[in-house]
Structure 1
Amino acid sequence: MINIYRKTALIEGFSYLILLFIAMPLKYFLNIPEGVKYFGWIHGVLFLVFMVALVAAAIQYRWSFKRIMLYLIASVLPFVPLILDKGLKKEYSQKTK
């Protein structure tokens, strides 16, 4: 389950970066709203999938409320999910050894 959560978090994180740094500048600087229209919808679906994966991982690994909130808040900050993924990878690779 942790690998599913990690992959979901990374995909959602990258979709957020694309939305922020490609689609939104296209809309507001070049007057091309289609990027936000379509990619915003895709990002929204990916965020919902991320939330399901977060809840599933939290239940399976008995994460604390504080940890769940950390991952939830991190999901709306650019680049932070990528940083947290390194820690998750390290933590759960050590637990499986």
Structure 2
Amino acid sequence: MDIKTATAIHRLRLISVPEALSFPALLIFGSLLSRISDIDFLMMPLGILHGVLFVIYAVLLLDVWAKTKWPLGRVGLFFLLALLPFGGLYGDKLLKRYEQDAVIATRARRETKVDA
């Protein structure tokens, strides 16, 4: 892996937490608010915001897959975590580990080039 791979994973991490919180925080809150009051106009913008975050997450996941050559099962796991409420929070922990591994591998490769 190289630094571009670590950067792609980092971008995915940046969107994973807002996407993970958008379902329970935005949609469930908006749904409850519309049921207990007459405020129905919030559901469409909240739904659109959640949808945009999910699409960005999916596109960045495909970018990571292209750069890291992860197995399809791992990519499927991250996609499944995005579908579960708060699942992206666990995915963020996994992504942090993969990002750190990519940075460590890049530094080790640089040090071996300098020593050679």
**TM bracket (short chain):** 0.7 to 0.9
Paired position in structure 2 for 1:25: 32
Preserved contact between residue 65 and residue 75 of structure 2 (Cα < 8 Å): yes
1:33-44 map, 5 Å: 33-44=40-51
Counterpart CA distance in 2 for 1:66 and 1:57 is 14
Alpha-carbon deviation of 1:51?
A: 0.9
Preserved contact between residue 24 and residue 85 of structure 2 (Cα < 8 Å): yes
1:1-97 map, 5 Å: 1-97=8-104
Aligned residues: CA RMSD: 1.5
SS of residue matched to 1:75: helix
Counterpart CA distance in 2 for 1:84 and 1:51 is 13
Encode CA deviations 1:39-58: one digit per residue, 9 max, x unaligned. 10111111111111010011
Unaligned runs of 5+ in 2: 1-7, 105-116
Q: What TM-score results when the alignment is normalised by the length of structure 2?
A: 0.74
SS of residue matched to 2:66: helix
SS of residue matched to 1:96: helix
Alpha-carbon deviation of 1:92?
A: 2.2
Unaligned runs of 5+ in 1: none
Aligned pairs, number: 97
Give percent identity, aligned residues only: 28
Give, as a single letter, the amino acid of the residue that structure 1 aligns with 2:20. Answer: G
